[in-house]
Structure 1
Amino acid sequence: MSTTTDDETPFDAYRDEVDRPLWRLFFEYGPGRLHWFAIGMVANFIAQMSSLIPPLILGAAIDAIFAGDGAYSLPVVPNAWLPATEMAQFWFSVSAIAAAFIAVGIGTWIYGVSANLFAHEVMHSVRVDCFTKMQNLDMTFFDDKQTGEVMAVLNDDTRNLEMFLDNALVNSLRLLVMVGGITAILFLLNWQLAFVTLVAVPAMFVFTLWFMRVVEPRYVRQRSAVARLNTRLENSISGVGLTKTTSSEEHEVGRVRKASKRFFDDTMAVLKLSYLYRPGMELLAGLAFAATFLVGGWWIAMESAPGPMTGTLQVGEFVTFLFLTQFIVAPLAEVSNIVDQYENAKASSERVFGLMDIPVYVTDPDDPVDLERVDGRVEYDDVTFSYATDEARALGKDLEGDEELIVEDVSFVADPGDTVALVGATGAGKSTLLKLLLRLYDVDDGEVRLDGHDVRSLRIDDVRRAVGYVSQDTFLFDGTIADNIRYGNFDASDDAVEEAARAAQAHAFIEGLEDGYDTRVGERGIKLSGGQRQRVALARTVLQDPEILILDEATSAVDTKTEFMIQQSIDRLTEDRTTLAIAHRLSTIRDADTILVLEDGRVVERGDHETLLAADGRYATLWEAQAGNLDEALETLADGGESGQ
């Protein structure tokens, strides 16, 4: 793995390691679809070759029928196959031209449909595979806020690949057929004039190589800029509430303006080259046409070969040359678009496979232990963890011993049915510690065990089905309330959903809504209050019916009345379940079997509520700090009732 800089993302690190990305695209996604590609290419070849027939027929007809100064002949076609009389030659010409245009139309339709089937099937598979990969990536990836990067891959990059497969490849074949076919015909008609017509081709080739070398790094910067712009837009839109409440609109506009200006600058750097390249190619092709007209016109007008040339040039041949020279201008000028699409697709495919190549470290073991029955015993044995370790893995870095430990040498046991509570200041490592049980991260040292098994020896699905997780940052998908309660248990009946809602103290407020369980909650559940969202999340966990429950400050974001309602739901939910709870308000965990006080990732105190108060340490200090408001809170809770907050 190459050395990376401090601000590199996994995309940057692994994209640089992608070798021959477009070849890889074909080898990984071509099998099973190549028949469509082959049909399209054959049809395109037939269509392009057919388009060269009318100029040939026209030239032969002019010389043999209209000018009458030559025999009716066509390159590589035996004269015995051609008609001898002028009338027969006329109708043969008409029929051949009509047949050629019909072949062009049919071939164009076939290759259009076939090429699009191939391109869109590949695009569909790439997009789904990228999303599947994203779903399986370690949480460290998402901690780095790569949402905009992923959206750029799923949308912009896959679209670039589709355009390349659909347009650039077809146009490349068209270019090869037209240039190759026209070159062969011109040399068969008059090899001396053919050299004049094709004199610009070597210059075009050199010009194209220069363009590809210079434009490639600009495309890489452009793709990076659009990804960063997407990330900035996504973050700004998601945080619009904070922006408004802090009157920071101008600040956000400035940040978006800066990201957009970078994208603008990088895009213009590409376009400036493109606008130089295409006119340059058209100029060279135009000079070739002018040279052909000059030499051929002189040849016919003076009725003698100019300069070192010898022989004769017939009018029909000259007309064919002019037509075919014009035919060659368009595909040669199209090289700029082909190169644009190629470089864009190359940069995009590097990003696609850069995402695909990010290794996943939290995976199922090769020979997992079957977790048939869960009792709910949880053990943490000298557990140590650092985010820097996961980040270094993702970026291919060596830590060199300078990582900051988030959790250090933590040990405790929760027997089946026990409640273990974690308290401590923000950043003490409480949430991270419990996420290790779910294998959202893996420990650096020590073990987390479930019923005596290291969780790394179990299937991830088995562990997560056994553990229900309720966080303070409740997420609801845009959909109905019933859909959100049912999430993760998609086949649950309506009765089961309602029963779970009743257990979570959510049924009453749901029934009070106009559409009841069919009420749409909006993006992230914005149409519901914080307390309502929390109870929907609890109902979802009730429906899961886990043996172990993790409560990550599940009531910290609601008012006192709502907390009382939610706490009633939690008390029912935790009965006979092993519960690991992070407490914001200590009153909610005073009955816990064990309370752990964390500081800087280490357990500094442990015991039950009374023991810790008697020790007069950090817990006692925290309790006294909250006790001043406790009497008032209890009086408020005594009023009862259900809050809509």
Structure 2
Amino acid sequence: MDAPNPDDDDVFEAQRERVERPMARLFREYGRDNAGYFGVGLFASVFARVLDLLPPLFLGIAIDAIIRQETTFSLLFVPQSWLPTAPREQLWIASGIVGGAFLFAAIFHWARNWGWNNFAQHIQHDVRTDTYDKMQRLNMDFFADKQTGEMMSVLSNDVNRLERFLNDGMNSAFRLIVMVIGIAAILFYLNWQLALIALVPVPLIAFFTKKFIETIQPKYAEVRSSVGQLNSRLENNLGGIQVIKTANTEPYESERVDDVSQDYFDANWDAIRTRIKFFPGLRLISGIGFVLTFTAGGYWALTYETTGTAPLMFTEPLTTGQFVVFITLTQRFIWPMAQFGQIINMYQRAYASAERIFGLMDTPARIAEDPDAEPLEVTDGRVAYEDVTFGYDYEPPSGPDNESSGEPIVEDIEFTVEGGDTVALVGPTGAGKSTILKLLLRMYDVDEGAITVDGTDLREVTIPSLRRQIGYVSQETFLFYGTVEENITYGTFGADHEAVVEAAEMAEAHQFIQNLPDGYDTKVGERGVKLSGGQRQRIAIARAILKDPEILVLDEATSDVDTETEMLIQKSLDALTEDRTTFAIAHRLSTIKDADTIVVVEDGRIVERGTHEQLLDADGLYANLWAVQAGEIDELPREFVERAARRRSEVDVEADDD
């Protein structure tokens, strides 16, 4: 299998294209709450850089007024009568001012770093938590189209790039602005003609920076996409390491990782090639400016020293001290200009990341909660499906042509479960059984019809209140990294230990938990790998018992365990389902034969319903499925076998497409 091409398979491309001015939005939505930190960072940056400029300025004053005594020692805003006339005293004053400048500059540099780091860290935290909160509230079809590694790339790499720009990039940007403005002001104050020569590189730097931005922006977007693909492949392989080892496919997977890593290498190296050409070019331009200033200023100062007049077309005097200040400050002026490219580089990376972050945040949720929705109160627990039709890409008939689009997955589903009864959904793989129950949990909303609980449409109640009333036990039990007790209390966080033990006893889990090294405090490992499948399943059942829901959903809760474990789990489920409205999906029909009603689903439609005995007497699909599990394969109708083969091939084709 070829590795995905980031250019053709950027799962966030559609979202990114909808985002306008992501950096402006970042400051608008997150900067306001952290404006205090921004203000401290900005204020301290300005004063720290102004203080950094005092030592070279006083160096020039000391050379001309104190050492060479060619000019009068004076300080801006200080009356001349206040200043001493003796050179030694003047030197002490200049030294004191320079020392004070270094001291207060250090204080302001600390405040600058404190402000910018707080500003960046708070925004990083807020953006990451908001992005995660938005992500976990998206519909399940969003996660079906995305891989975990791609979403982790947004939450980790992209958010971190924003933090780096907001801290280092913003810090450097304001340092550059203050240095350029401050140095330019001093240079023009000292000698405006030589200052013009020193500023010759600025237009060229601006031109090359503009070209760099236009070239590098799409390249960084490709880099971010390839990072997501690489993370997805690594996350996928690490999660399936057992399958890789048992299938002996290490070389194959290494080649696949090599492919996606090469895609990242190519995209990143393309951006690097552009970047490493740009920065040396800026340094060359900056160096040319420095050479011009040094040559013209040196000749100027030398001529003025020997003749007392300015050379060529220059008219202003240039003393030795002024020339030294020019050389010192020009070097400080040119290098910040060259570093402007680094800031643009960081900005473009942050811009590409902000597009992905806000693109994810702006992903519309297919399920919209009614603003006037009320909490669900379950009284009897009566659940009714009323002509329900749903499809991921299905749109009901509308408009004058009255035609629908897309294919429904389930269609015209109608049945009622009285409070306290158990209904079982059975049928071939891919018939739509799980989809029917996901609609009850409002993982998706119906396209036509309605689902009601005690007569209330699910779309009229708040989603959290609905899901609080439903306990869900799935075939693929997921345990979080933590202790056994933490996993049992997940969702019922306030439960005390006695309630946890009682729930575990009802789930036939207490005995094996006691035999674990640390009992209920035993760490279960990543995804519960330290426990067997049956143990994980019974912990999930204990979790549902502790929740004490009014409605229970069992999605093939015993399909992947051995017969002995199934017996224990079934005993747990019998206690759990008593006096609760229960929905059960099962391939092992023996586990649901005592259900009050069995609903048989095929190709997204209900084809049979009744009790176990009634369906066997009807000699339809259910009877044939029962015969398969009873080992009576030779007695099955030819038509049933052909339909099963056709369904199996369709499921395999859909799996290959996925």
- TM value normalised by structure 2: 0.90
Equivalent positions of 1:572-587 (< 5 A) are 572-587=575-590
Among candidates 457, 462, 466, match of residue 465 of structure 2: 462
Among candidates 321, 334, 340, match of residue 335 of structure 1: 340
* 1:188 aligned partner: 189
Structure 1 residue 83 displacement after superposition: 4.1
- State, as a whole percentage, how many aligned pairs show the same letter: 52
Out of 144-153 and 56-65, give the one that drifted further: 144-153
Please state if 1:109 is matched with 2:114: no
Partner of 2:33, secondary structure, is coil
Q: 1:6 to 1:258 in 2, by over 3 A?
A: closer
Structure 1 residue 372 displacement after superposition: 2.9
Equivalent positions of 1:309-458 (< 5 A) are 309-389=314-394, 402-458=405-461
Aligned counterparts of 1:178 and 1:370: Cα–Cα separation in 2: 59
Aligned counterparts of 1:301 and 1:7: Cα–Cα separation in 2: 64
Partner of 1:31, secondary structure, is helix
Out of 265-274 and 47-56, give the one that drifted further: 265-274
Q: 1:496 to 1:384 in 2, by over 3 A?
A: same
* 1:148 aligned partner: 149
1:356-399: CA deviations, max 9, x gaps? Answer: 11122324321123433331111111111112259xxxxxxxxx
Aligned counterparts of 1:425 and 1:486: Cα–Cα separation in 2: 34
Partner of 1:334, secondary structure, is helix
1:491-530: CA deviations, max 9, x gaps? Answer: 1111111111111111111112121111111011100000
Q: Which amino acid aligns with 2:412?
A: D
Q: Does structure 2 conserve the Cα–Cα contact (< 8 Å) formed by 1:295 and 1:306? A: no
Aligned counterparts of 1:70 and 1:370: Cα–Cα separation in 2: 84
* 1:171 aligned partner: 172
1:68-89: CA deviations, max 9, x gaps? Answer: 2222346787756654332232
Aligned counterparts of 1:241 and 1:121: Cα–Cα separation in 2: 40
Q: 1:12 to 1:76 in 2, by over 3 A?
A: farther
Please state if 1:552 is matched with 2:590: no
* 1:394 aligned partner: none
Q: Which amino acid aligns with 1:341?
A: M
Aligned counterparts of 1:6 and 1:565: Cα–Cα separation in 2: 52
Structure 1 residue 153 displacement after superposition: 1.8
Structure 1 residue 435 displacement after superposition: 0.9
Structure 1 residue 593 displacement after superposition: 1.8
Q: 1:124 to 1:609 in 2, by over 3 A?
A: same
Q: Does structure 2 conserve the Cα–Cα contact (< 8 Å) formed by 1:75 and 1:189? A: no
* 1:527 aligned partner: 530
Partner of 1:310, secondary structure, is coil
* 1:396 aligned partner: none
Partner of 1:364, secondary structure, is coil
* 2:284 aligned partner: 283
Aligned counterparts of 1:6 and 1:602: Cα–Cα separation in 2: 40
* 2:508 aligned partner: 505
* 2:52 aligned partner: 51
Q: 1:603 to 1:353 in 2, by over 3 A?
A: same
* 2:300 aligned partner: 299
* 2:90 aligned partner: 89
Q: Which amino acid aligns with 1:337?
A: Q
Q: Which amino acid aligns with 1:25?
A: L
Aligned counterparts of 1:42 and 1:311: Cα–Cα separation in 2: 35
Aligned counterparts of 2:82 and 2:430: Cα–Cα separation in 1: 89
Q: Does structure 2 conserve the Cα–Cα contact (< 8 Å) formed by 1:383 and 1:408? A: yes
Q: Does structure 1 conserve the Cα–Cα contact (< 8 Å) formed by 2:223 and 2:264? A: yes
Structure 1 residue 246 displacement after superposition: 1.7
Q: 1:222 to 1:9 in 2, by over 3 A?
A: closer
Q: Does structure 2 conserve the Cα–Cα contact (< 8 Å) formed by 1:168 and 1:338? A: yes
* 1:638 aligned partner: none
Say how many residue pairs are matched: 617
1:145-177: CA deviations, max 9, x gaps? Answer: 342232112211111111111111111111111
* 1:634 aligned partner: none
Partner of 1:605, secondary structure, is strand
Unaligned regions of 5+ residues in structure 2, if any?
1-5, 396-402, 634-658
Q: CA RMSD of the aligned region, Å?
A: 2.0
Please state if 1:517 is matched with 2:492: no
* 2:477 aligned partner: 474
Aligned counterparts of 1:385 and 1:501: Cα–Cα separation in 2: 37
Aligned counterparts of 1:629 and 1:323: Cα–Cα separation in 2: 96
Partner of 1:563, secondary structure, is helix
Among candidates 543, 560, 564, match of residue 561 of structure 1: 564
- TM value normalised by structure 1: 0.92
* 1:203 aligned partner: 204
Q: Which amino acid aligns with 2:508?
A: Q
Out of 549-558 and 303-312, give the one that drifted further: 303-312
* 1:641 aligned partner: none
Partner of 1:178, secondary structure, is helix
Partner of 1:379, secondary structure, is strand
Q: Which amino acid aligns with 1:275?
A: I
Q: 1:43 to 1:308 in 2, by over 3 A?
A: same
